[in-house]
Amino acid sequence: MRLQDKIAIVTGAGSGFGAGIARKFASEGAHVIVADIDTEAATAIATEIDGTAQTVDVSQSDSVRDMVTATMAAHGRIDILVNNAGVTHLPAALDSIGEDEFDRVFAVNCKSVYLTARHALPFMRTNPGANILNVASTAGVSPRPRLNWYNASKGWMITATRAMAVELAPDGLRVNAINPVAGETPLLKSFMGEDTPEIRAKFLSTIPLGRFSTPEDMGNAACFLCSDEASMITGVCMEVDGGRCI
């Protein structure tokens, strides 16, 4: 029970990697605020793990503030904040992506990290030992072609993680990230453009261990980095990628 009695917010926890992280945290003793823009999905996961469902649009300041306010009112503290919510654009030439799509990717993948920090840090600073985990991507380390602005948003997230870690260390707060490779989540089809055996084989050929990331893989890595076992680890962007970035 490595997270016994911890209060953890996980954004985008209604499906995919976020759901895997939420399940793992709950199994290790945490009470998880399952935050997602999809209320029905959040409720389903929260019911499954005996957590708390919270509807949130991570790109909107008022919505993020309401999530933090509700968590503090119910539990009085935030021990773990996982910025997992993310979106991508479909594979296309970088100069063909529309401005609205670009803005959407950076609002959900980047601005959300700023907003959760802005609203949660005033409370987390008074809770030494609390920590933040950002779910970035191997795309920010080894970009795939035709996913340019998604790649760039995850590179931003990696830099933000390191910068946050340096600034928040004097407050006793740790900030880390995990970099998954493409996984069996609702975003997989968007990354590939279309889900065919040929395109899956092409993606898998870039992963030495020969399989996609799973929500369970992400949950296990996240649990370690957010636990006291990782108390000397901050500013790390851990690749959970089957060797893709070697």
Q: How far apart are CA 230 and CA 241, in angstroms?
A: 20
Q: Which residues of 155-185 are buried (b: 16+ CB within 10 A; e: fewer)?
A: bbbbebbbebbeebeeeebbbbbbbbbbbeb
Given 25, 106, 150, 212, the catalytic residue? 150
Distance CA 138, CA 240 (A): 8
Question: Can you tell me the distance from the alpha carbon of 45 to that of 133, in angstroms, rounded to the nearest whole number?
Answer: 20
Q: Cα–Cα distance between 204 and 15 in angstroms, integer?
A: 22
Percent helix, percent strand, percent coil in the chain, to nearest 5: 50, 15, 35
The closest of 186, 202, 189, 182 to 242, measured between CA atoms, is 182
What one-character-per-residue DSSP string does 74-99 give?
HHS---EEEE-------S--GGGS-H
Longest CA span, the chain: 51
Nearest to 6 by CA among 22, 24, 29: 29
Asked whether the beta carbons of 166 and 174 are under 8 A apart, the reply is no
Give yes or no: 150 in active site. Answer: yes
Which sequence positions are flagged as catalytic? 150
